[in-house]
Amino acid sequence: MAVQKTNPGNYFEDFSVGQFLRHATPRTVSEGDAAVYMALFGPRFPLTSSDEFARALGLPRAPSDDLLAFHIAFGKTVPDISLNAVANLGYADCRFVTPVYPGDTITTSSEVIGLRQLSNGKSGIVYVRSTAVNQRHEVVIDYVRWVMVRKRDAAAPAPETQIPDLPEAVAPDQLVVPEGLQLSGYDTDLAGSPHLWDDYAVGEKIDHVDGMTIEEAEHMMATRLYQNTAKVHFNQFMQNDDKAGRRLIYGGHVISLARALSYNGLGNAFKIAAINAGQHVAPCYAGDTVFAWSEILDKAELPGRSDLGALRVRGFATKDRPAADFPGKTEDGHAAGVILDLDYWVLMPRRQGS
């Protein structure tokens, strides 16, 4: 009997708590990746744009954008975890540990840490902790995500429900500052913003003003670039039978757009240190125009550092509704038009002597 040689992907009933998945296709990051990432999302943060700016801060060269590394690490997991996904739902306990530079190779593995079948019996939620390492086996990114995955057979028995206990946020003393980073040479003129850690107040809300329309070609390039082969993103033939009848924009695409838009108002938030929680509130499709606003949830000093601090930011992305349309910036953040609710820590320079 011939052995099936193609991979149909895992369905919900194929997962078990404690299952370990070593994902295929290590990916070496190149300068080309950085250029295409900039072309797709338009980020303007100087640390990842300029080798000279990075060297002035004690780094060997410009590191890859934190979210570029995240996308590559995430894409490795898709064939094993979310090839048959309905949607990626959320993130938690994500730490950016070691910077990624062109020439580094990322490899990812995952452990299933929770399962919950949905009441319709047709799909379930799979919780995984994924860890990406570089060629020196240093942890680059470690994070939890949960994804809705179709069942192969609706009649298959439901597993015992296990939902992982996750922290509300990454503790500030667990945030990692890149080795060698020192901010005495930080140039706010070149960074494009005079506003430092000291200038932000807890509860402050920032309308990032600008909008960016997603083109079908950009989305398709991104999902292929990061080897994210989830069918809902690239298979229009399959999506013809979906109620929307369209390919779903990869959630990470929206995160990167929101981060890029946040430069206008958070220009000195030069590095993402952690993602505390995240939810894709509503679907996004090609042709939608994405806007963003942020709320400052907390400020933290970092142990042994007087030159930088951390801001805890709750970032929202909307589609086809400018942030000015949300005068109250509702607490739950899930008013009509909101597509992303992301809670994350960023590093930012402090005023010297503060």
DSSP assignments along 193-226, one per residue = ----GGG--TT-EEE----EEPPHHHHHHHHHHT
Q: What are phi and psi of 39, to 5 degrees?
A: -65, -35
133-173 pLDDT tens trace: 999 999 999 999 999 999 999 989 989 999 999 999 999 99
319-343 pLDDT tens trace: 999 988 875 665 555 788 899 999 9
Q: Rounded to two decimals, what is the model's pTM? A: 0.93
- Give the HSE-up count for residue 146: Cα atoms under 13 Å, Cβ half-sphere: 22
Using a 10 angstrom Cβ sphere, with 0-12 exposed, 13-18 middle and 19 or more buried, the burial of residue 74 is buried
Tokens standing for residue 27: 């990916």
Residue 232: what pLDDT?
Answer: 82
Q: List, for the chain, all residue ranges whose pLDDT scores fall below the cut of 70.
A: 327-333, 353-354
Q: Render the burial of 24-59: b for 16+ CB within 10 Å, e for the rest.
A: eeebebeeebbeebbebbebebbbbbeeebbebbeb
Residue 165: what pLDDT?
Answer: 95
Residue 327: what pLDDT?
Answer: 59
Residue 173: what pLDDT?
Answer: 94
Domain 12-153+168-180+190-349 has CATH 3.30.420.40: no
Amino acid type, 192: G
For residue 328, give every residue at least 6 positions away whose Cβ sits within 8 Å of its Cβ, in sequence order, or none: none
